Structure 1
């Protein structure tokens, strides 16, 4: 077993205009567990960046290293152009974060909890504290519950209060770990809207989520981790586009349609009543697969085609193709 203080060869420092950039970032816990293994991550300025991975993939460990809660075993992490955790005192006042749920004083009201958070910020002007707290509560929909003790808050309300704490000051970067945890559908929609507003105002948002639909709706870029390693990163459109689309044919003549589709290289065919779906490949046995030719082949075989088209691959399709597993809770 390697000692935890054994360092690998020197890793070049990440550069460019990325808000978050890591090179060879790794975390090995005592006992030998390698939670994050050689992570090279780039988060573009102005993006809404979704951080995805199955349970235990190393996402939360990565986030904790980025904000200086734990030190990497080796590798480099730069946030807002400065190395973490070394530059934490300069960087963290420009970063809002909600990680693994908010830490709250149960006996204090929501408003008083935020006042405590604000007072702990050395850059916060105490003369304008009350206005900042009120604005943050209003922005996350907690103005009416501001005087209620935190112990009486639901999980969703506590999550909103933690988000309000991250928004007390204007932030260049917002780091959110499962931001919609515990929220009802309306609350989730409101948080998605808020994230979009923050991005439009120039804040880069980095969020992890176990809700793939949420990532597709709100994120511009994404990265996928599994077993501590980065599998891919890029725009959401690029990642979904890398997964193969599916052909969908609606016909009462399913047996004949299946035969024709197989002859033309369509694989993994599934029949549900009069609907056939199959994996669409770039080329069939005779060369490039043209959808118009495929439709014509069905008609020539006297297949009655009631519907013909393709379904765009989803982010979930891409995720399963990359990891070989379904999606679980965040790790």
Structure 2
């Protein structure tokens, strides 16, 4: 498992005056269908900092599960507890059907992980770093080591830089090498903490494709990220964390459906268009330079043509008209009242 040197806790903040998000439980899964399961999992650091607060999480087998939340929401602290790197203050966790951290010796050989960035020997080449990782794995067959190291480097696009010293790698290259270490052998579970950190847009697309490929091979992927776009593109399921608490979990379409859609009218006649939308009872009307938006709510699809006809009849020059579905960003803001980093 790839892990950086221990850093200051990056979990959720201590309780404050803001209202706490309301947790929405996931439906129970049949026994054996959950690769990760937690009950009341809690971590309080010295000084009273409550990083993770009563987490009940269920990760279905075969899913690409997005663990979503702003930086400082408790994601990395949760992962460190799941991997047995730190002990919980309360509650319990099982990974691959076994209690953690009690079963760390039997669970971790079945897990590939990249947590808080890769820990590398700067004086060794990328290839030699992978060899060291592989040698440390008691389940690794030394007879196939060279082939597996070469395949892992190829999968993350580092074959050409395999002989380069790791200290000369860029942040994105180091992140790729950490992923290669996690992929040296087939695993039942792949745990990735911010896997696209430091990558350019092309590199981010390549890693997303790699995650899909690994999942297609039968590996469950648990992917922590603060990038909503990343979660929507690659994940089948997701959970949202806020200030150390689980806000909601479910399939990605289910979570996005919690947000209201938006009716968007693109026009140069912004003021008249806004007046007509308001007159027809739409709420949340707001204007931009060349567009008007309103909350679509549960607007009957049959009413949309009539609304568009009303705009045209009033002389509004309609360039574009339609309903945009709710996104994970919309759902997150609706559930927590907080903004979100949606870069990427």
Q: Is the TM value for this pair above 0.5?
A: yes
Cα distance, 1:253 vs structure 2: 4.1
Q: Is 1:179 aligned to 2:192, yes or no? A: no
Cα distance, 1:199 vs structure 2: 0.5
Q: Which residue of the partner structure matches residue 275 of structure 1?
A: 291
Q: Which residue of the partner structure matches residue 320 of structure 2?
A: 307
For structure 2, the 5+ residue unaligned runs are 1-29
Q: Which residue of the partner structure matches residue 38 of structure 1?
A: 54
CA distance in 2, matches of 1:294, 1:214: 35
Structure 1 residues 185-196: aligned runs within 5 Å: 185-196=201-212
Q: Which residue of the partner structure matches residue 54 of structure 1?
A: 70
Q: Which residue of the partner structure matches residue 168 of structure 1?
A: 184
Q: Is 1:317 aligned to 2:330, yes or no? A: yes
- Counterpart secondary structure, 2:331: helix
CA distance in 2, matches of 1:64, 1:265: 50
CA distance in 2, matches of 1:302, 1:134: 65
CA distance in 1, matches of 2:229, 2:210: 16
Q: Which residue of the partner structure matches residue 291 of structure 1?
A: 304
CA distance in 2, matches of 1:154, 1:254: 47
Structure 1 residues 192-203: aligned runs within 5 Å: 192-203=208-219
- Evaluate the alpha carbon distance shift between residue 273 and residue 105 of structure 1 in structure 2; reply closer, same or farther with a 3 A threshold: closer
Cα distance, 1:322 vs structure 2: 2.0
Cα distance, 1:302 vs structure 2: 5.2
The CA RMSD over aligned residues, in Å, is 2.1
- Counterpart secondary structure, 2:284: strand
Deviations 1:209-249 (A, max 9, x none): 12211111111111100011000111111111111111112
Q: Which residue of the partner structure matches residue 117 of structure 2?
A: 101
The more displaced of 163-172 and 253-262 is 253-262
- Counterpart secondary structure, 2:34: coil
CA distance in 2, matches of 1:187, 1:146: 17
The more displaced of 127-136 and 88-97 is 127-136
Cα distance, 1:297 vs structure 2: 4.1
CA distance in 2, matches of 1:32, 1:248: 47
CA distance in 1, matches of 2:131, 2:59: 31
Deviations 1:22-77 (A, max 9, x none): 11111111211111011111111111111111121100000000111001111111
For structure 1, the 5+ residue unaligned runs are 1-13
CA distance in 2, matches of 1:91, 1:323: 34
The more displaced of 259-268 and 60-69 is 259-268
The more displaced of 249-258 and 53-62 is 249-258
- Counterpart secondary structure, 1:239: helix
The more displaced of 119-128 and 226-235 is 119-128
Q: Is the 8 A contact 1:249 1:307 kept in 2?
A: yes
CA distance in 1, matches of 2:319, 2:130: 59
Matched residue count = 314
- Evaluate the alpha carbon distance shift between residue 254 and residue 233 of structure 1 in structure 2; reply closer, same or farther with a 3 A threshold: same
Q: Which residue of the partner structure matches residue 167 of structure 2?
A: 151
- Evaluate the alpha carbon distance shift between residue 253 and residue 133 of structure 1 in structure 2; reply closer, same or farther with a 3 A threshold: closer
Moved over 6 A (4+): none
**TM-score normalised per structure 2:** 0.86
- Evaluate the alpha carbon distance shift between residue 159 and residue 253 of structure 1 in structure 2; reply closer, same or farther with a 3 A threshold: closer
CA distance in 1, matches of 2:190, 2:41: 20
- Evaluate the alpha carbon distance shift between residue 162 and residue 304 of structure 1 in structure 2; reply closer, same or farther with a 3 A threshold: closer
CA distance in 2, matches of 1:235, 1:297: 38
Q: Is the 8 A contact 2:67 2:239 kept in 1?
A: yes
Structure 1 residues 134-149: aligned runs within 5 Å: 134-149=150-165
Q: Is the 8 A contact 2:228 2:342 kept in 1?
A: no
Q: Which residue of the partner structure matches residue 38 of structure 2?
A: 22
Structure 1 residues 200-239: aligned runs within 5 Å: 200-239=216-255
CA distance in 2, matches of 1:298, 1:158: 55
The more displaced of 299-308 and 215-224 is 299-308
Cα distance, 1:314 vs structure 2: 1.9
The more displaced of 314-323 and 175-184 is 314-323
Cα distance, 1:79 vs structure 2: 0.6
Cα distance, 1:91 vs structure 2: 0.7
- Evaluate the alpha carbon distance shift between residue 298 and residue 19 of structure 1 in structure 2; reply closer, same or farther with a 3 A threshold: same
